Amino acid sequence: MVNITLKDGSVKQYEPGITVMQIAEDISKGLARVALVGKVNSEVVDLAKQVNEDVTLEILTFDSPKGQNAYRHTTSHILAQAVLRLFPGTKLAIGPAIEQGYYYDFDSKHTFTPEDMLKIEEEMKKIIKEDLPLVRKELSREDAIKMFKEKGEAYKVELINDLPEDAQISTYIQGDFTDLCAGPHVSSTGKIKAVKLMSLAGAYWRGSEKNKMLQRIYGTCFPKKSDLEAYLFRLEEAKKRDHRKLGQELKLFTVMDEGPGFPFFYPKGVVIINELENYWRQIHREWNYQEIKTPVILNRQLWERSGHWDHYRENMYTTIIDEEDFAIKPMNCPGAMLVYNSELHSYRDLPLRTAELGLVHRHELSGALHGLMRVRSFTQDDAHIFMLPSQITEEIKGVIDLVDTIYKLFGFEYHVELSTKPEKAMGSDEDWEMATNSLEKALQEKGIDYKINAGDGAFYGPKIDFHLMDSIGRTWQCGTIQLDFQLPERFELTYVGEDGQKHRPVMIHRVAFGSMERFIGILTEHFAGAFPTWIAPVQVKILPITERQIEYAKQLVQDLFRAGIRVEIDKRSEKIGYKIREAQLEKIPYMLVVGDKELENRTVALRKRDEGDKGAVDYQEFKEELLKEIENKL
């Protein structure tokens, strides 16, 4: 008998040779119906995989990332089979699963069209209905090369030749279709339920411009039609919320040909920046941070000392001043090191929390640029905390609380990921282990669930990343906490301990917004441009019905302006309905309509952005309520 340890810790015994699917059926018929693949020890396998020794086993469904990956990868094979049926002679490249879907690259004499996509999708549905089993077959290198050469699949032959000599060559067969693939896959094409082809694109083979341009077809798939419909709805919502589109419509920001990746902000966009920075300064004062400001350009010796010249130079902009190499800062931390080192510190001074709204520049490839989300110049809301080793856990917990406070203000939910030592890193394994354990301890003491990203840390230390979820379910990586034993060593930072001797402090790098520009892009899409009143560029718009009310409207503008409220007046000779629609398109939180009746009674007719017409209200009461709303950041 073999012992199978399940996810809940229970142990079941079976005869050797039992398959993962048979174990799933024994556990629960319902589980077997939704099972996609299994995880045997740390390996994800087909449900047909036999178990011949003691193992741990987890049955994976679409609720798990690995289950989704197998589901989507299988659908990419169905896409390839459909294309070969409809367009014989097409050559296959690769077809991986990706986030929210899959794609397949094809080399075809036929140029695919949107009409072809509909035909291919229908053929995919036929293949799904045929419920073809996916059968794994392992081949020798020679047999695999021979088979794909006979099929004329040169791209597959190239992939096989690039595999290590001792690599296992596996294929998957579904009906008349065979593909080179490591797997795993779901058991049959019938397991796939709802499919949709999304778009066409060009893609160079292996991403190199030296290679042939292929045709890439993107698609998505879900176990339920309702899930697919919900996803497509979210995509349409995302298009409406696109911050690049709203940024132009609402006159917030733009990117010009004269500075690709370097955003320009209009006055209304600057209002949002200023409000966020004002809040940032307020909360950092409350949490005992001291604000600093460091230069944008520093010399090469500094960047060599910090490690950036060796580890990050390809992303840095450099120049020569007085025959010496300088670099525009891609990060604020080396400047903060110099500030710390400019004076002596005692253990009584620590923790020392310094914060900076620092403008940084990073060379991003032009193809990666995307509105405010991926730029070449941005303001980081950086902070660097210098502390005693004994203060590490409490300081990390404090940063977690601060970040949580900020995200809750905007109504964001988030999840946390812990990234560990990358392949290219500074420092000893012992330092990395200590740093990683400190981050884990803080997360555990805060009771926060987290995912581990092995090998994804910064080159100088492990990190905690905060991934925000917006109003339509997308996630964005914003805040981060990075624990660093390396830079204090490189910059020879010291403090005088209780024993009168010099010791090395530990440092935290930390951002909450991440980048002001990116956070504004996220906020724009999260709120669809309808910003909370406290950061709305224009908080009140006054709409006189005729010229007779303009003087009264001007008095209201002056009074609101003196109270610190951002207000505009629409004095155009347009019908009031048109003015209201324009203000709604501008997503103004409050509209005050004034006609003869309001002029006579010294009142206003109130319209709220989300609630419509609220009728006549007392002006002073409205102003007082609005000021409370702004003060409370609602």
Q: Are 463 and 482 in contact (CB under 8 A)?
A: yes
Together in a domain, 56 and 74 = no
Residue 209: inside a domain, yes or no?
yes
In a domain, 38, yes or no: yes
The rounded percent of the chain whose pLDDT value lies above 90 is 83
CATH number at residue 24: 3.10.20.30
Give dist(CA 203, CA 210) in Å, integer.
12
Does the pLDDT of residue 620 top 90, yes or no?
yes
Q: Are residues 465 and 606 in the same domain?
A: no
Instruction: Provide the pLDDT for residue 64.
Output: 93
Q: What distance in Å separates the CA atoms of residue 224 and residue 214, rounded to the nearest whole number? A: 31
Measuring CA to CA, which residue among 330, 345, 421, 426 is closest to residue 385? 345
Residues 517 and 613 in one domain: no
Domain CATH for 561: 3.40.50.800
User: Which pLDDT band holds residue 481 (cuts at 50, 70, 90)?
Assistant: very high
pLDDT of residue 352: 97
Give the residue-averaged pLDDT of 509-518. Answer: 94
Looking at 500, 526, 552, the residue that finishes a domain is 526
Contact 76, 124 (CB under 8 A): no
pLDDT at 459 over 80: no
Q: Are residues 55 and 92 in the same domain?
A: no
- Give the CATH number of the domain where residue 151 resides: 3.30.980.10
Q: Which two tokens stand for residue 3?
A: 């012992």
Whether 41 and 148 share a structural domain? no
Residue 624 confidence class, pLDDT cut points 50, 70, 90: very high
Q: Which pLDDT belongs to residue 291?
A: 97
| Secondary structure (DSSP) of 374-419 | B-SEEEEEEEEEEE-GGGHHHHHHHHHHHHHHHHHHTT-EEEEEEE
The mean per-residue pLDDT over the stretch 190-204 comes to 95
Q: Please tell me the distance from the alpha carbon of residue 339 to that of residue 553, in angstroms, as a whole number.
A: 52
pLDDT, averaged across the chain: 93
Q: Omega of the bond prior to 184 within 30 degrees of 0, cis?
A: yes
When divided into structural domains, the chain yields a total of: 4
The DSSP bridge partners found for residue 75 are none
Same domain, 73 and 53: no
| The pLDDT of residue 398 is above 90 | yes
- Residue 22 and residue 92 in one domain: no
Q: Is 243 part of a structural domain of the chain?
A: no
Residue 520 shares a structural domain with residue 388: yes
Does residue 81 come out as left (phi exceeding 0), alpha (psi in the -120 to 50 range) or beta?
alpha
What is the three-state SS of 574-620?
Answer: CCHHHHHHHHHHCCCCEEEEECHHHHHHCEEEEEECCCEEEEEEEHH
Mean predicted confidence (pLDDT) in 21-48: 94
Residue 414: pLDDT band with limits 50, 70, 90? very high
pLDDT of residue 429: 82
The answer to whether position 479 is within a domain reads: yes
Which residue range is the domain that position 365 belongs to? 259-294+332-526
Asked whether residue 593 is domain-assigned, the answer is yes
pLDDT grade for 475, boundaries at 50, 70 and 90: confident
Give tens-digit pLDDT for 544-569: 999 999 999 999 999 999 999 999 99
Helix (H) / strand (E) containing 630: helix 619-631
Contact 199, 218 (CB under 8 A): yes
Does residue 494 share a domain with residue 611?
Answer: no
Instruction: Determine, yes or no, domain membership for 402.
Output: yes
Position 164 in a domain? yes
Q: Which residues are catalytic?
A: 333, 362, 380, 382, 384, 463, 509
Look at residue 447 in the predicted model and tell me its pLDDT: 92
The predicted pLDDT at position 368 comes to 85
Q: pLDDT tier at 454 (50, 70, 90 boundaries)?
A: confident
Same domain, yes or no: 584 and 501: no
The answer to which of 218-227, 232-241, 456-465, 483-492 has the lowest mean pLDDT is: 456-465
Residue range 296-314: mean pLDDT, rounded: 91
Same domain flag for 14 and 77: no
Query: CA nearest 485: which of 502, 503, 464, 506?
Result: 506
Q: Is a pLDDT exceeding 80 seen at residue 426?
A: no
Please report which residue ranges of 101-179 form alpha helices under DSSP H: 114-130, 141-150, 154-162
pLDDT band at 424 (very low <50, low <70, confident <90, very high): confident
| 245 within domain boundaries | no
Rounded Cα–Cα distance for residues 273 and 520 (Å) = 8
Please state the rounded mean pLDDT for residues 27-34: 93
Mean pLDDT of 357-368: 91
pLDDT > 90? residue 435: no
The enclosing domain of 267 has a CATH number of: 3.30.930.10
- For residue 99, the model assigns a pLDDT of 87
Q: Are residues 57 and 75 in the same domain?
A: no
Q: Residue 341: which of 508, 490, 491 has the closest Cα?
A: 491
Q: What is the pLDDT of residue 232?
A: 93
Residue 502's pLDDT is 95
pLDDT at 207 over 90: no
- 258-269, pLDDT tens digit by residue? 999 999 999 999
- Banded pLDDT at 432 (limits 50, 70, 90): confident
* One-letter identity of residue 64: S
Sign of CA dihedral 331, 412, 449, 505: positive
